[in-house]
Amino acid sequence: MDEEVTEGFVGPYDPVSSDYWGVKGRREVEEAGSLLVNTLLRIRVDIPNIEILNDCANCGRKEPRISLGYLSIDETNEMARKIEKVLDELDCLRKERATGKAHLPHAHPRSDE
């Protein structure tokens, strides 16, 4: 749980693509879901039950939706702690940068740098 967070992609995870969802033809929602999963994995938060839901005949919703699934209290608390840790570290870096003691790296360095 106290894993070190470093610049860029961290952890034993490989980025997911739209193939992660197993359903074709919903490119926009698949790309949005993949972006969310990859962003959360960068801070070591995994949501194993995330899924794309098709349109709903019962409620009349026509577009697919992303569902984060059901989380236990322990899973929810663990995810919140991981996110809080990263935000605390970011706050420290911002304070150090404001006082001239640190330099925040670019979130996604360009390949020509």
In a domain, 91, yes or no: yes
Give the pLDDT of residue 64: 82
Q: Which range marks the domain in which residue 79 is found?
A: 71-105
Same-domain pairing of 59 and 101:
no
- Number of structural domains (the chain) is 2
Residues of the chain with pLDDT under 70: 1-12, 18-19, 21-25, 57, 102-113
In a domain, 31, yes or no: yes
Same-domain pairing of 13 and 25:
yes
Give the pLDDT of residue 8: 54
In a domain, 110, yes or no: no
Give the pLDDT of residue 75: 92
Predicted TM-score (pTM) of this structure: 0.60
Residue 85, phi-psi category: left (phi > 0), alpha (psi -120 to 50), beta (remainder): alpha
Q: In the chain, which ranges are E strands?
A: 51-53, 65-67
Same-domain pairing of 42 and 93:
no
Q: Which percentage of the chain shows pLDDT scores above 90?
A: 33
Give the pLDDT of residue 113: 40
Same-domain pairing of 60 and 91:
no
Q: Which letter does DSSP use for residue 77 in this model?
A: H
Same-domain pairing of 63 and 20:
yes
> Contact 42/9 with Cβ under 8 angstroms?
yes
